[in-house]
Amino acid sequence: MTDFEAYVTRYSHGLSKFCIKLCGGIDDADDLFQDTWTRALEHFDAYDPEKSFQTWLFTICVNLYRNAGKSKYNTTRREFSSTEEKQRFFDTVPAEEQDIDERLDLYRALNSLPKKYRVVLSLFYLRAFTTREIAEILHIPEGTVGSRLHTAKKLLKRRLQDGSHDR
């Protein structure tokens, strides 16, 4: 097994989960997931083994996501256009525990957020990175990570309360 294959084995699960949560749909997530590994493979020579591979990998993923157009990796929008699309969404979360309407509201509210807030929320609640590592991935000061989290949650809360994501 090559080094790269070993990394794929080790980090695919985390990256897969991150892409699904970030994009909100399996198809978009799969595109982002594959593109990230492809880019990582292309630039694997540039990876510094002294640094965290996971941070490097997620930096690629976030850059791809942020630098893409508005619609790329986010074709799933606030409303489900079909039963199949709705089913695809619910395939991404376990059916037990949460109230289905509450999850749907959260999903819609998250998808209505600007990309940069979705990114910081996904990175933070994935529990895989420290705030410092998130700052490194996003190329922003560590404090800005906190600021964006604060703003993201504030926006989210407001949209969940008044349903503004439906407008």
Helices (H) and strands (E) counted in the chain, each on its own, are 8, 0
Binding track, positions 110-139, relative to other proteins; x by CB under 8 A: x-x-xxx----xx--xxx---------x-x
Q: How far is the CB of 40 from other proteins (least distance, A)?
A: 8
In whole angstroms, what is the distance from residue 58 CA to residue 3 CA?
17
For other proteins, the binding residues in 24-43 under the rule CB under 8 A are: 26, 29-30, 33-34, 37-39, 41-43
Residues 98, 100, 130, 132: which binds other proteins (CB under 8 A)?
98
Torsion region of 82: left, alpha or beta (phi above 0 gives left; psi -120 to 50 gives alpha): beta
Residues in region 54-93 near other proteins by CB under 8 A: 56, 59-60, 63, 66-67, 69-70, 91-93
Minimum CB separation of residue 156 from other proteins in Å reads 7
Compute the distance between CA of residue 12 and CA of residue 138 in angstroms, rounded to an integer: 20
Q: At closest approach, how far in Å is the CB of 79 from other proteins?
A: 13
Minimum distance of other proteins from residue 55's CB (angstroms): 9
Q: What are residue 92's phi and psi, to 5 degrees?
A: -90, -10
**149 binds other proteins, rule: CB under 8 A:** yes
CA 153 to chain centre: 15
DSSP 79: S
Question: Is 52 a binder of other proteins (CB under 8 A)?
Answer: no
Q: Which is nearer to other proteins, 80 or 140 (CB)?
A: 140
Amino acid present at 57: L
Nearer to other proteins, 70 or 83 (CB): 70
141 binds other proteins (CB under 8 A): yes
In the numeric block, which tokens belong to residue 151? 């703003």
Comparing C-alpha atoms, which of 131, 127, 129, 166 is closest to residue 148? 131
